[in-house]
Structure 1
Amino acid sequence: MNTPFSRTLLATSTLLVSATSLAAGFQVNEHSATGLGRAFAGEAVIADNASVLSRNAAAMMMFDKDAFSMGMTVVQPDVTVKNGTYNRPNGTINVGVDLNKNVTFDSASVGYDSVNLADVDGIAPTAFVPNFYYIHPVNEKFAVGVAAYSNFGTGTEFESDYAAPIFGGTTKVQSMNLGLSLAYRVNEHLSFGGGLDIIYGMGDLYRDVDGDVTINVDAPRPIPDQSMSFSGKTTAVDIQATGVGLGANIGMVYEVNDGNRFGLSYKYSPEIEATGDVSFMKQSYDAVYLPLPDIAEFSGFHMITNKTAIHYSIQWVGWSAFDSIETESATVKEYNWKNSYHYSIGATHYLNNKWTLRTGYMYDQTPVDELTSISIPDSDRQWFSAGFTYNWSSNTALDFGVTYLLGKDVEVHEVVDESLPAPSVTAITHSDAVLAAIQLSHTF
């Protein structure tokens, strides 16, 4: 059965993967401990270790030795859903389908029972985000590099007895970028770089639906009429799927002099086709298509004294690409997200040969426009960051960064379908997080 009711339930219940991601939407910024300590200000051009590969391949030409970095970011989210009311459906929905599979509501007799939801918190588990980078200067003109990190991902889990199960449930989505890059130096000032990214994604998604509902489908021959009823709680979605997509990136660095430089980069993100077991209301789908946003970034770095630098970034994220989720046969749901930006500024103080101190601030815009959800407690966010580097030797450094991420209250009114009064939920969501990262960097 392929009704607007079923299609929007599938979308609402499965691929709203933005619940507690660490940047706006479901973007993951956590690519290094050094970057976290400065709120990722200047990331496309600072190049203080090999993690710059995650932002700008052209910056590899600033290394005259082989370099690697590896690290881990630990994320402790604090997500709450409070003051909630759930409209639990009951009644009959009559649906018409034509030969072109266009669907209309002929009539609907749907009522609902209102349920006050208990406030919940702790629905986002602790997350661990690893990374690895290696840069090899071939000669004065060329360098190559490999990188492994994540650009997208999230995870939330409501208790099984949550009273609005179609809007709660479990969402676990992870991705990993495996990248190969090449850089070329044009002259002492200008370098270019680019590469390919293999993006692997996996998801484990589960939702229940409850109520007392009968759905009748009136279809022309040879399509048979169908009817489905459920009472109480039944499994709405049970998905385990994986997918691979091919992305790309390009970048440039302009070095004015030793203390002043600019970086510009662009990442192309593919649409991921996730295949596996996709079960929804006794129906099966072969694949779900998730469009990912392109990302552009401009960064600057300036030494203002012989020991202190300021740096900044403006990042554009093309979230308008995330307009809908589709299966192989139908549009699942419209999202109509908007493009968003984040703005960050930071400072680095080179205290002595052993210690480097850094700090930063970021204002991160949400891409969510009019369609809010308790599964997307997403808002404009502020990042307050600090960190340091301890140089064990002239070749080896230990980096540490910490960030407090502060969100806003969001008033949510979420429905499964605009034509139906239920299921629906109203609530206030809020999302904060504490992030800490450690990293080992070495040149040889």
Structure 2
Amino acid sequence: MLINKTHLTLTIIATLTSLHLHAAGFQLNSQSATGLGRAFSGDAVIADNASVMAKNPAAMTLFTTPALSLGLIAINSDINIQNTSITTPTPAGIMSFPVENASIGDVSYVPNIYYIHPVNENIALGASLYSNFGTLTKFPNNYGGNLPGTLKNSADIYGGTTEVKSINLGLSAAYRFNTQFSIGAGIDVIYGHGKFTRGRDLSPLPSTLTGTTNLVDIDADGFAVGFNLGTVYEINQNHRFGLSYRYSPTLEADGDITYIPNASQGKPFNLNNEKLKIPLPDIIEFSGFHQLTNKFALHYSIQWIGWDSFTRLETTGNTTIKEYQWQNGWHYAVGGTYSLNEKWVLRAGYMYDTSAQDQLTSISVPDSDRNWFSSGFSYHLNPRANIDFGITYLTGKDVNVTELSTGAPQLNATTHADAWLYGLQYSLTF
């Protein structure tokens, strides 16, 4: 059986970035509870707390006193794999065998922390810890166990477990030229770690595979450095625009990375002596904010994600693991903020984001166009401190998936992914 190397590609990419199902591809929108409550509309320019530096470093000049934000996003994903079958040649001809439905969602927790320090009226510095990408899916241990004979557990070649965690450390600076124009820049240091298994407990295995029960078994980590740039243009205190660009690096990961291209021949292959090169997408975002009345503000964002940079997974030794074509993605978000009184601020938003996957699809990392429906509030404990809460329901579309590896049965399925996201945050100005 030939392991589907697409899964290896997907896992390693996520391993070097962060946690999934909240946006298309591996992008993770979980930078703040306030942003979550408005579907991240206007996030590159609103600057209602220090988390704005995750989207646009130039917006730090909008603060006149030091600001701190601490938050946590909980993501409860509901991913269903249905109408699944394994198709394979038999003496009686090509036959399809049904595979039981699977629910592979789980709960992830993503913390974040931001600090902005205005040096004077023109200069501000900031530090942040948060995440931009990632994934977490788990198939049942007995997935495909209902299949007959030698096909038993064949479905797990395409399923298995994908678990990823990562950290993005950012250091930023901003400069105000005048009352209308500011610029900013930042450095991103990314660390990621992930574990990945496929084809567990397949038997009988050739004698050359003694000591392993997985056709794919990966434990890898790595560092990379990127940067981000931003600008803010203020028409006046009630109307402003933000534009930002994030350069995402090509990550190089090493560790225990072993897979078996052909279990029937019993020839394990590993990349332990080479590093994997994984390009990640650049991101451009434009945001607007308009305080239309004393109580109500309108805000919006358009974001472009350069997923087409991910064309293949290859090693530093020029070994091509998988040709893999993704398409560029877009986010379109709009929302509103309403100041109910001195204590309460209400917000809501909607986002539509497009799938990064194109012709190649997967049951282990489902992806589709998605709709976000968000709401939230801030409660002011005093003039300098407040608690923020945000909630989002994210719903995807049914996707018909076909996966095929040479020498392995073909898998057909329908995937559907939804999620609830909950955010809580404490913000303070000094």
TM-score normalized with structure 2 length: 0.89
2:397 is aligned with 1:416: no
| Separation of aligned partners in 2, 1:19 and 1:131 | 13
* 1:385-418 deviation digits (Å, cap 9, x = unpaired): 000000000000000000000111001111124x
| Separation of aligned partners in 1, 2:363 and 2:47 | 39
| Separation of aligned partners in 1, 2:300 and 2:362 | 32
Match in the other structure for 1:294: 282
Question: Is residue 311–residue 347 contact of structure 1 (8 Å, CA) maintained in 2?
Answer: yes
| Separation of aligned partners in 2, 1:181 and 1:19 | 23
- CA change 1:229–1:324 in 2 (3 A) is same
Three-state SS of the structure 2 residue aligned to 1:153 is: coil
Match in the other structure for 2:24: 24
Cα RMSD (Å) of the superposition?
2.6
Q: For residue 14 of structure 1, report the CA deviation from its aligned partner.
A: 4.3
Question: Is residue 175–residue 202 contact of structure 1 (8 Å, CA) maintained in 2?
Answer: yes
Q: For residue 271 of structure 1, report the CA deviation from its aligned partner.
A: 1.3
- CA change 1:13–1:168 in 2 (3 A) is farther
Q: How many residues align?
A: 405
| Separation of aligned partners in 1, 2:97 and 2:347 | 49
The one-letter code of the counterpart of 2:412 is T
Three-state SS of the structure 2 residue aligned to 1:235 is: coil
Match in the other structure for 1:240: 219
Within the candidate set 161, 164, 167, 2:158 is matched to: 167
* 1:142-161 deviation digits (Å, cap 9, x = unpaired): 00000000001111111121
2:104 is aligned with 1:136: no
The one-letter code of the counterpart of 1:395 is R
Match in the other structure for 1:252: 231
| Separation of aligned partners in 2, 1:433 and 1:88 | 34
Within the candidate set 185, 190, 198, 1:194 is matched to: 185
| Separation of aligned partners in 1, 2:199 and 2:350 | 40
| Separation of aligned partners in 2, 1:206 and 1:414 | 17
| Separation of aligned partners in 2, 1:234 and 1:326 | 25
- CA change 1:190–1:372 in 2 (3 A) is same
2:83 is aligned with 1:115: no
Match in the other structure for 2:195: 204
- CA change 1:20–1:195 in 2 (3 A) is closer
Three-state SS of the structure 2 residue aligned to 1:31 is: coil
| Separation of aligned partners in 1, 2:241 and 2:19 | 34
2:319 is aligned with 1:340: no
Q: Give the structure with the larger strand fraction.
A: 1
Question: Is residue 373–residue 414 contact of structure 1 (8 Å, CA) maintained in 2?
Answer: yes
- CA change 1:313–1:237 in 2 (3 A) is same
Question: Is residue 16–residue 375 contact of structure 1 (8 Å, CA) maintained in 2?
Answer: no
- CA change 1:266–1:90 in 2 (3 A) is farther
Q: In the TM superposition, what are the counterparts of 1:347-358 in structure 2 within 5 Å?
A: 347-358=336-347
* 1:270-323 deviation digits (Å, cap 9, x = unpaired): 111111111112222123222210111000000111110000000000000111
Q: Which runs of 5+ in 2 are unaligned?
A: 145-154, 261-267
Match in the other structure for 1:74: 74
The one-letter code of the counterpart of 2:193 is M
Q: Percent identity?
A: 51
2:87 is aligned with 1:87: yes
Q: For residue 8 of structure 1, report the CA deviation from its aligned partner.
A: 3.2
- CA change 1:205–1:113 in 2 (3 A) is farther
Three-state SS of the structure 1 residue aligned to 2:36 is: helix
Question: Is residue 4–residue 404 contact of structure 2 (8 Å, CA) maintained in 1?
Answer: no
The one-letter code of the counterpart of 2:216 is V
Match in the other structure for 2:301: 313
Three-state SS of the structure 2 residue aligned to 1:188 is: coil
Question: Is residue 19–residue 134 contact of structure 2 (8 Å, CA) maintained in 1?
Answer: no
2:105 is aligned with 1:124: yes
The one-letter code of the counterpart of 1:316 is W
| Separation of aligned partners in 1, 2:95 and 2:164 | 32
Q: Which runs of 5+ in 1 are unaligned?
A: 92-110, 215-226
2:374 is aligned with 1:385: yes
Q: For residue 209 of structure 1, report the CA deviation from its aligned partner.
A: 6.5
* 1:178-237 deviation digits (Å, cap 9, x = unpaired): 0000000010000000010001111101111788999xxxxxxxxxxxx99889x95211
* 1:128-176 deviation digits (Å, cap 9, x = unpaired): 0100000000001100000000001111111121110111111111221
* 1:84-127 deviation digits (Å, cap 9, x = unpaired): 01236899xxxxxxxxxxxxxxxxxxx97643110111x12100
| Separation of aligned partners in 2, 1:210 and 1:16 | 25
